[in-house]
């Protein structure tokens, strides 16, 4: 099935759900598809340098931290990855020699991630290119378009957070009590 056929099938299915605005739902799918295309293109663009977008963001976060070290939780928060995805991300970057991990000096339960010399060199070379590219990409939008897009993304993110909070609450209420 191609995308057009899938959307037509969704349209037909939505006819059975009178409480859902079919046009708005289909517009939502169109926006989601466009978002995914931009995300895929961004990943492909980042991949031209042999690293994923999240890997570049991880190195960037470390590069700009005062001592070029952070905890995995700090990095995960900055690049919007789950902790398990962050572990995989760090494993890959460590294998490539861009960073090291060691027990945190102040709290042995924590890990400290530090940018290696190779990681610093990579950032010194790649970040100026990244910043020029981001400037070029951002410049295709007017200041007003950037403001509107940013506001729209914030509204969507807030709505998603609220839905997730409700889902967690519903799941907690329906979970059997533990003794």
Q: How far apart are CA 40 and CA 45, in angstroms?
A: 8
Q: Is the pTM of this model over 0.85?
A: no
> What DSSP line would sit under the chain, residue for residue?
--HHHHHHHHHHHHTT-TTS-HHHHHHHHHHHHHHHHHHHHHHHHHHTTTS-HHHHHHHHHHHHSTTSEE-HHHHHHHHT--HHHHHHHHHHHHHTTSEEEEE-SS-TTSEEEEE-HHHHHHHHHHHHHHHHHHHHHHTTS-HHHHHHHHHHHHHHHHHHHHHHHHHHHHHHHHSPPP-
pLDDT (tens place) for every residue of the chain, 179 residues total: 888 899 899 999 999 999 999 999 999 998 998 999 988 888 787 766 688 888 999 999 999 999 999 999 999 998 888 888 999 999 999 999 999 999 877 777 889 999 999 999 999 998 998 899 889 999 999 999 999 999 999 999 999 999 988 877 766 666 565 54
Assigned token pair, 175: 């979970």
Reduced to 3 states, what is the DSSP secondary structure of residue 109? coil
First to last CA, the chain: 49
- Give the count of beta carbons closer than 10 Å to the beta carbon of residue 25: 15
Q: DSSP state, 136?
A: H
């Amino acid at each position: 099935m191609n995308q057009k056929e899938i959307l037509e099938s969704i349209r037909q299915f939505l006819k059975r759900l009178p409480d859902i605005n079919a046009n708005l739902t289909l517009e939502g799918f169109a926006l989601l598809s466009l978002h995914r295309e931009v995300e895929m293109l961004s990943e492909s663009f980042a991949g031209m340098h042999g690293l994923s977008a999240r890997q570049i963001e991880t190195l960037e976060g470390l590069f700009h931290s005062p001592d070029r070290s952070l905890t995995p939780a700090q990095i995960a928060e900055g690049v919007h990855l789950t902790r398990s995805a962050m572990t995989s991300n760090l494993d890959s970057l460590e294998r490539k020699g861009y960073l090291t991990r060691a027990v945190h000096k102040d709290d042995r339960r924590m890990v400290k991630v530090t940018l290696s010399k190779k990681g610093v060199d990579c950032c010194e070379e790649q970040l100026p290119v990244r910043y020029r590219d981001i400037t070029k990409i951002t410049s295709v939008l007017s200041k007003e378009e950037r403001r509107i897009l940013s506001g729209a993304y914030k509204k969507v993110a807030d709505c998603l957070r609220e839905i997730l909070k409700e889902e967690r609450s519903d799941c907690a209420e329906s979970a059997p009590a533990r003794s």
